[in-house]
């Protein structure tokens, strides 16, 4: 294969050729098509890449990608069999692919309940630099497994999908608490493990059910995470789940900061003892046991009073709705403010920063937890979550460590993913600007490598336009949960 060198198109995108005139950028689309070659050996030069281990930007002398892996970092050998070279401007930054470990594919467009969205979300996740997703509970696990297999076969473009299987607990439709005995839970875990599920999510499970789920999942080498409570009403406090051996906890730290005489939500919105023993003791337990914490900071901003900095659109997200669905969504009145979420949002940020400052930096993972109602989409939430971490006081370098290496480790994938290193899989996000100066620079995604394949965000976004929701009233039932 003839060697191809590509620089002119990147300069057009950076606006450095003839102020982006048509003459200066003629042929850009054709060049981009030429770049997408699954059999190519790529060398990406120029710009900088983020070393998430040290939190520093490294001048990029060359990253060579072959057969989906990073085979070398540094100037390629003169005799290297390179088929495509991509020369980046100095402003470009190369990041490891992002993880979303609470990546809801679920949408609730009509207020009747959630359904898993697979028409546009895979492309939208990739376009935003999310190369690995864990849905944290699937409404239709059979459908989601089929999506994973289609992506793995190359029939669909999308992120690495780590199936989570059905919810374990009352959040699952049709969950029968009495029928979910220890033996039935073990059988379900065995079944879904055989189907390729990567981990499990509990929400509304009782103490005995959660304990069995953790034990049986670990028999298969799989992880368990959970949306827990305070212990109130036969719920499980995160402290007790940690003692059971849970791998990751969502939303709330737990312990004595959430006493069992009220719900976790009731406790958190009134919590103000950030220097007390309750917070310090529960953080120490996480750190001592090596349990990961998925804080899901940004979700509270959607439901509370809108914070313009957090909820602003930097692209027209409504364009991904069908015209029929967009008309319905735009005609709706604003959602009422959830006062408890409004109270919890700043408390969540302070709690996360306390966890970070008390030795928990390497145990924080990134999850967005956005089941959309049509105004904001889960694939774009990654960037709002990055901003939420930064606003909580986490340094930008560690914000990206959380979104990449920490999350890879939490899923046992750090030998292959989570950082830019020789031998690892080539999941990379190329952005314009320096995200260590402003994490919002990561929103300007120019190219994504997933499994070593190159993707154009602009093309992915164009593919997804007008695909979410029914085309007309006759299709609405497909977007409502079965009863």
Residue 82: the pLDDT is: 72
Helices of type H across 25-181: 28-35, 121-127, 141-152
- Per-residue model confidence (pLDDT) at position 79: 63
The pLDDT of residue 40: 81
Q: What is the CATH code of the structural domain delimited by 98-410?
A: 3.20.20.140
pLDDT at res. 26: 34
Query: Rounded CA gap, 63 and 71, in Å?
Result: 8
Task: Return the pLDDT at 274.
Answer: 93
pLDDT at residue 29, rounded to an integer: 32
pLDDT per residue as tens digits for the range 152-197 = 999 999 999 999 999 999 999 999 999 999 999 999 999 999 999 9
Q: What does the pLDDT read at residue 80?
A: 65
The C-alpha atoms of residue 237 and residue 256 are separated, in whole angstroms, by 9
- In this prediction, residue 25 carries a pLDDT of 36
d(CA 242, CA 225): 10
- CA-to-CA distance for 402 and 386, rounded, in angstroms? 9
Is it true that 4-96+427-456 and 98-410 share their CATH fold? no
- The pLDDT, as a whole number, for residue 362 is 98
Look at residue 21 and tell me whether its pLDDT is greater than 90.
no
Distances from the Cα of 24 to the Cα of 7, 8, 18, 89, 142, angstroms: 13, 9, 6, 17, 49
The candidate with the shortest Cα–Cα distance to 447, out of 39, 122, 82, 97, is 97
Residue 105 has pLDDT above 60, yes or no: yes
Asked if the model's pLDDT at residue 482 lies above 70, the reply is yes
Cβ atoms 463, 456 nearer than 8 A: no
Q: What is the pLDDT of residue 35?
A: 59
| Pick from 3-17, 117-131, 247-261, 357-371: least confident | 3-17
* Confidence at 37, pLDDT banded by 50, 70, 90: low
Q: Mean pLDDT, to the nearest integer, of 121-140?
A: 97
* DSSP notation for 153-209: TTSS---EE----B-BSTTSTT--TTT--HHHHHHHHHHHHHTT--EEEEES--HHH
Residues β-bridged to residue 189: none
Range 269-277 average pLDDT:
93
Interior/surface letters 52-70, b for 16+ CB within 10 angstroms, e for the rest? beeeebeebebbbbbeebb
- Is the model more confident about 365 or about 16? 365
Domain definitions of the chain by residue range: 4-96+427-456, 98-410
pLDDT digit string (tens) for 290-329? Answer: 999 999 999 887 876 777 888 889 999 999 999 999 999 9
Residue 397 makes CB contacts below 8 A (sequence gap 6+) with 50, 52, 55, 56, 436
The confidence score (pLDDT) of residue 335 equals 84
Using alpha carbons, select from 67, 57, 143, 72 the residue that is nearest to residue 105: 143
Helix ranges, 17-77 (H): 28-35
Structure tokens at 435: 């995200």
* Chain segment 198-252, per-residue pLDDT in tens: 999 999 999 999 999 999 999 999 999 999 999 999 999 999 999 999 999 999 9
CA-closest candidate to residue 102, choices 353, 297, 235, 275 = 297
Mean pLDDT of 5-27: 36
Please tell me the predicted confidence (pLDDT) of residue 300.
Answer: 82
Q: Determine the pLDDT at residue 15.
A: 37
C-alpha 83 chain-centroid distance = 32
Lookup: tokens for 160? 């690495």
Angle at CA of residue 303, ends 302 and 306, nearest 5°: 55
Percent of the chain surpassing pLDDT 70: 91
Question: Are the C-beta atoms of residues 385 and 101 closer than 8 Å to each other?
Answer: no
Q: How much is the pTM? A: 0.92
Angstrom CA distances, 199 to 18, 100, 206, 416, stand at 51, 14, 19, 17
Place of tokens 């996000």: 429
Q: Helix, strand, or coil here: 140?
A: coil
* pLDDT at residue 9 tops 50: no
Instruction: State percent of the chain over pLDDT 90.
Output: 82
Residue 166 phi, psi dihedral angles, 5° rounding: -75, 160
Residues in contact with 275: Cβ distance below 8 Å, sequence separation at least 6, in sequence order:
none
**Fold that domain 4-96+427-456 belongs to in CATH:** Urease, subunit C; domain 1 (2.30.40)
- Based on its alpha-carbon atoms, the radius of gyration of the chain, rounded to whole angstroms, reads 23
Place 430 in a pLDDT band, splitting at 50, 70 and 90.
Answer: very high
């Amino acid at each position: 294969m003839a060697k191809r060198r590509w620089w002119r198109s990147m300069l057009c995108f950076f606006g450095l050729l003839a102020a982006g005139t048509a003459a200066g950028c003629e042929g850009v689309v054709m060049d981009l098509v030429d770049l997408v070659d699954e059999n190519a050996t790529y060398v990406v030069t120029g710009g900088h890449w983020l070393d998430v281990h040290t939190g520093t930007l490294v001048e990029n002398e060359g990253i060579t990608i072959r057969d989906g892996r990073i085979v070398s970092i540094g100037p390629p050998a003169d005799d290297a069999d390179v088929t495509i070279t991509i020369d980046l401007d100095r402003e470009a930054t190369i990041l490891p692919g992002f993880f979303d470990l609470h990546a809801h594919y679920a949408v609730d467009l009509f207020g009747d309940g959630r359904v898993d969205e697979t028409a546009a979300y895979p492309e939208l996740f990739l376009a935003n630099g999310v190369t690995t997703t864990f849905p944290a509970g699937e409404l239709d696990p059979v459908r989601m497994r089929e999506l994973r297999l289609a992506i793995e076969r190359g029939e669909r473009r999308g992120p690495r999908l780590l199936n989570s299987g059905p919810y374990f607990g009352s959040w699952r439709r049709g969950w029968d608490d009495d029928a979910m005995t220890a033996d039935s839970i073990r059988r379900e875990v065995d079944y879904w493990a055989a189907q390729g599920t990567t981990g499990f999510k509990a929400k509304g499970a009782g103490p005995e059910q959660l304990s069995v789920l953790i034990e049986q999942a670990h028999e298969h080498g799989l992880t368990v995470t959970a949306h827990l409570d305070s212990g109130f009403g036969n719920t499980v406090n995160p402290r007790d789940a940690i003692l059971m051996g849970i791998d990751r906890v969502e939303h709330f730290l737990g312990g004595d900061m959430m006493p069992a005489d009220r719900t976790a939500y009731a406790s958190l919105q009134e919590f103000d003892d950030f220097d007390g023993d309750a917070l310090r003791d529960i953080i120490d337990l996480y750190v001592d046991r090596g349990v990961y914490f998925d804080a899901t900071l940004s979700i509270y901003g959607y439901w509370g009073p809108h914070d313009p900095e957090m909820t602003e659109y930097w692209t027209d997200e409504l364009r991904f709705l069908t015209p029929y669905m967009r008309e319905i969504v735009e005609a709706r009145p604003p959602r009422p403010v959830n006062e408890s979420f409004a109270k919890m949002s700043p408390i969540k940020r302070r709690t996360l920063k306390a966890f970070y400052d008390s030795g928990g930096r390497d145990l924080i993972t990134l999850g967005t937890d956005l089941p959309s109602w049509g105004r904001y989409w889960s694939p774009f939430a990654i960037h709002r979550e990055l901003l939420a971490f930064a606003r909580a006081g986490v340094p930008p370098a560690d914000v990206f460590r959380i979104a990449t290496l920490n999350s890879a480790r939490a899923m046992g994938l750090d030998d292959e993913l989570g950082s830019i290193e020789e031998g690892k899989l080539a999941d990379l996000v190329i952005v314009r600007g320096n995200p260590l100066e402003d994490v919002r620079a990561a929103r300007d995604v120019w190219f994504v490598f997933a499994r070593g394949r190159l993707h154009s965000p602009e093309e992915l976004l164009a593919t997804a336009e007008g695909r979410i929701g029914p085309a007309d009233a006759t299709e609405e039932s497909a977007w409502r949960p079965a009863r």
